[in-house]
Structure 1
Amino acid sequence: MNAPGDTILAIASAPGWSARAIIRASGPGSAALLNAIVDEPIPARRGVYVARAKLSGDGPALAVLVLRFVGPRSYTGEDSFEIQCPGNPLLIERLMNRLLTLSTPAPTRQANPGEFTARAFLNGRIRMEQAEGVAAMVAARSAEQADAARRLLTGETGHLHQAWADEALGLLALVEAGIDFTDQEDVIPIDAESLDRRLGAIEQGIRDHVGDRVPRAISAGIPAVALVGSPSAGKSTLFNALLGRERSVTAAEPGTTRDVVRESLDLSRDIPGGGAVDLIDLPGLDRREDGVVGKAEAAAQRAARESIAASDVILHCDPSGRFLPDKAIPSGATVIRVRTKADLPADLDEPGDDGHGAIAVCALDGWRLGPLRRAIADATTLPGRFGADAGLIPRHRRSLAQAADAITRARKASRDLLRDPAVVAESLRLACDALSDLTGRVSPDDVLGRIFATFCVGK
């Protein structure tokens, strides 16, 4: 995050031609900046004003609408304004350049992605989850996703997380009080049965919120995405293209990949709230009917099938678009079908799937890799994929999974509460730490930076 003393400026409307465009500014120098650009001073109170903006020192003025907001009762908590003008890209550019070059007491600069919302959070206007709700609402592509974002924005989801955190913290206080009074047998702040019952209610609430299926890789921290297909299906070439570098060995001969290759792929630039996934390149699945394979090939096939079973999302790769059924892909798995060689004609005359719904890409020149990356981000981030709550983004899911696991350990240890309460307390501390990541009590700078970096400029 940059210096909060700066006045930040950004175009807040979509690029291109439109009836109206919006330029947004916020910061201690915004009032002076606004009055320097218009022909007559704007009153120092909240309101909507008709004005004329000067595009140059002595040139023509442009009729605009000004929305004035006075801090701390503004979105960012600072003095801020919006200028609505005709959506002509040339006029917008001239107006922006004029605003950026005007001399004001506070420095004026172009806003960074998400900086308006970051200031709202840092100034106490919104909570962390509401800030993430802004990004989720911008990225929503269905009614379900928009509703999930609304729950984040309104604080509905945050109140639920806060209730779990408060209950866990209260139980931790009782357990630690029991440690302080271990030498007094008649003082028992909470008994093992009550502790287990209350912990069970928190755990059940979290697991119902996350859903029945919490992927193994996600509970460990990162979703696993496996590239699956026959030998020479273009998996390794696609793997390298998605990473943006040569990681897997590629060759024209089938069966080049014999080992399971894993690399982290960052999807935060493709969808707000997205994060890293564990991208896995696998040996090709052999469909030969004779079943004759060597020991090395058999080991490679076994490793591939084990990785498929443990993965959260499958990229089913086929160069021709036939997508023959494969028993190695679990029924009910989240599958993204990818025609890997879109530069070649599709072979849909052969038996197999007709390729409907597949994403055609060309890994050689990067054609349509963007839509594929967004599909992966959707599959590992957005509604209905991994849990009952469509509002779960990876950071939330990881924290909730960690909290639920810690509470499970605390429940097991609570059976020996009187003998070893310190073990229960330590597990509860871990659960509180995980939940505090969601309630905003603990938010390291690097976490904040990653969250707001997913926003677009002007938000």
Structure 2
Amino acid sequence: MSLAATIAACSTAPGRSARAMIRVSGPTVPSLAATLTGSPTRRGCTRGALPLPGENAAGSLPLPVLLAFFHAPHSYTGEDVLELQLPGNPALIDRVLRYLASFPGVRPAQPGEFTARAYFAGRLTLDQAEGVAAAIAAATNEQLAAARELLQGRAGAAYQGWADEASMLLALVEAGIDFTDQEDVRPIEPAALLARLGALRQAIASHLGARAGAEATVAQPLVVLVGRPNAGKSTLFNALLGRRRAVAGPIAGTTRDALVEPLDLSPSAPGAGTVQLADLAGLDDMQSDQPDALAQAAARHTIARADLLLWCDPTSRFDERDLPPTSAEVLRIRTFADRPADPHPRVPQSSFRVQHSALPVCALDGWHLADLKRAIAEHACSSNQAPLAALLPRHRAAMHDAIGAIDLAATLIDTRDTGLRRPEELAQTLRAALDALGELRGRISPDDILGKVFATFCVGK
């Protein structure tokens, strides 16, 4: 990502609209703006007309635009920036972008490059930059609120506080190593160090929203197979996983316990993640014994936590009375679609729409399994994500690394001692925790982390 070039891209949503905005940022913006307006650049808005080259014998096309010039560093990117407002016609926008790219030193912007330049110029912290991407991708009010936490710096303030505390503890430990000959330098006592490490760990774990180590499962949507006994749930469960995990048989009540396994949807739905897939006992109000009753209770408890229900019914009746009350989305699945007596003949995949009817699936030969996985990805992975507890994967990983380093440091401390037994090893462990927390603030982030962050943006942001 070179900062020497001037970049240009459309910063408004694709499609037709009354107005669109093209943003240009970089070192050649002043000369480019002077060429477009025919006068020296000055801060503010100017009306003008772009002499777009004609694509036929008709000659050039004067396009009326409104130009806004922002002097560095008083712009989004911290560079000289020119914004052009023009009619929101996609073909017209494309012609303007090609026209701008014909100027020396101007090229199309890469995804997230405007925000990356704002970060490198110190206009945004890394977590605020990620907040921009999170706000763009937000599909719910909760996700938008979490993005605002990042954009407004509240999450960053917490990260900074943790890093400051870890840095202070590291300094106190290293003081006992480097200045042992100084009478006025007193290293931190083991009990005090352990207490402060415990408080720091608790603060990080609380921000994750649950016990450390449990968030990866919490952050993944829970998809639950439901239906009456012998509805083909366990067979479908095994088929989706691609291996035999549940015992499937013709006898009702084969499944008693709730089985939960991770299901990676990315092979069938590129860009989708992993969900937790659960197979439950069949829903039946007529329990014959206590184990049946316990299985029913476990099933209903899992259903209450579900993000998406796959309602399996080989008869296609889907009696609403069979389904417990739930706030989760429901996809109807017609299982055993391979049965010759099925009154519903198979239809071409292209003519089937999941949201309007039950999806016929054959778990034995895999018919419509790929369609089902794509439907799961569409419904489960696009909503009901924990907004701030799950966070961004990079944030969650850094917090886990920091907690792991803090836990390791705690094992090196014995409160019965008057001093630290292994201060060098302890300092190295605290440095690892500080490095992990530093990644959250972008101050110790390697280039590959930065590249992954800004690659998630769309062009023009």
Match of 1:191 in 2: 189
* Matched ranges for 1:371-382 at <5 A: 372-373=377-378, 375-376=380-381, 378-382=383-387
Shift of 1:180: 3.3
Q: How far has the Cα of 1:276 moved from its partner?
A: 5.4
Cα distance between partner residues in 1 of 2:88 and 2:373: 30
CA distance in 2, matches of 1:413, 1:168: 16
Q: Corresponding residue for 1:347?
A: 318
Q: Which amino acid aligns with 2:190?
A: A
**1:95 is aligned to 2:91:** no
Secondary structure (helix, strand or coil) at the match of 2:41 reads coil
**Aligned-partner residue type, residue 99 of structure 1:** L
Compared with structure 1, are the counterparts of its residues 339 and 201 closer, same or farther at alpha carbon in structure 2 (3 Å cutoff)? closer
Equivalent position amino acid for 1:29 in 2: T
For 1:76 and 1:400, the matched residues in 2 are separated by: 29
Aligned to 1:318: none
User: What is the match of residue 455 of structure 2?
Assistant: 453
Distance 1:85 1:67 in 2: 12
On the 8 A contact 1:8/1:27 being kept in 2, the answer is yes
- TM-aligned CA distance change 1:186 to 1:444, over 3 Å: closer
430, 433, 439: which one aligns with 1:431:
433
Question: What SS does the aligned partner of 2:196 have?
Answer: helix
User: Which residue identity lines up with residue 50 of structure 1 in the other structure?
Assistant: R
1:36-55 residue pairs with structure 2 within 5 A?
36=35, 38=36, 40-41=37-38, 43-55=40-52
Compute the TM-score of the two structures, normalised by the length of structure 1.
0.72
Gaps in structure 2 of 5+ consecutive residues: 251-258, 290-294, 332-353, 360-367
**Does structure 2 conserve the Cα–Cα contact (< 8 Å) formed by 1:129 and 1:439?**
yes
Alignment counterpart, residue 173 of structure 1, candidates 162, 171, 174: 171
Taking the TM superposition and a 5 Å limit, the aligned residue runs for 1:158-307 are 158-181=156-179, 188-216=186-214, 218=216, 228-229=224-225, 232-233=232-233, 234-235=236-237, 238=240, 248=243, 277=274, 279=275
Contact 2:219-2:386 within 8 A present in 1 as well? no
Q: 1:15: how far off?
A: 2.0
User: Structure 1 residues 422 and 237, CA, compared in 2 at 3 Å: closer, same or farther?
Assistant: same
How far did residue 198 of structure 1 move?
A: 2.6
CA distance in 1, matches of 2:93, 2:171: 57
Percent of aligned positions with the same letter in both sequences? 39
Q: 1:401 aligned to 2:406?
A: no
Distance 2:142 2:92 in 1: 38
> What value does the CA root-mean-square deviation take over the aligned residues?
4.2
One-letter code aligned to 1:84: Q
2:444 aligned partner: 442
Distance 1:193 1:215, change over 3 A: closer
Q: Quick one: structure 1 residues 62 and 345, their matched pair in 2 at CA, closer, same or farther if it must change by over 3 Å?
A: farther
Contact kept, 8 Å, 2:19 with 2:88, in 1: the verdict is yes
Alignment length (residue pairs): 402
Aligned-residue offset at 1:150: 2.2
Query: Displacement of 1:14 after TM fit?
Result: 1.6
Give, as a single letter, the amino acid of the residue that structure 1 aligns with 2:450: L
| Distance of 2:396 and 2:193 partners within structure 1 | 25
Deviates more, 1:81-90 or 1:365-374: 365-374
Q: Is the 8 A contact 2:405 2:429 kept in 1?
A: yes
Report the TM-score when normalising by structure 2: 0.72
Measured at CA, do residues 400 and 69 of structure 1 come closer, stay the same or move farther in structure 2, by a change above 3 Å?
Answer: same
Amino acid at match of 2:396: R
Contact 2:22–2:83, Cα closer than 8 Å, also in 1: yes
Question: SS state of the match for residue 174, structure 2?
Answer: helix
Cα deviation for residue 329 of structure 1 reads 7.1
Instruction: Give the whole-Å Cα distance in 2 for the aligned partners of 1:342 and 1:108.
Output: 56
Aligned to 1:321: none
Distance 1:341 1:44, change over 3 A: farther
Where does residue 297 of structure 1 map in the other structure? none
1:325–1:444 Cα change, 3 Å: farther
SS in 2 for 1:10: strand
Query: Aligned in 2, Cα 1:364/1:54: closer, same or farther, shift over 3 Å?
Result: farther
**Is the alpha carbon distance of 1:418 and 1:41 closer, same or farther for their aligned partners in structure 2, counting shifts above 3 Å?**
same
SS at match of 1:112: coil
Equivalence for 1:30: 29
1:435 Cα deviation from its structure 2 partner? 0.4
SS at 1:403's partner residue?
helix
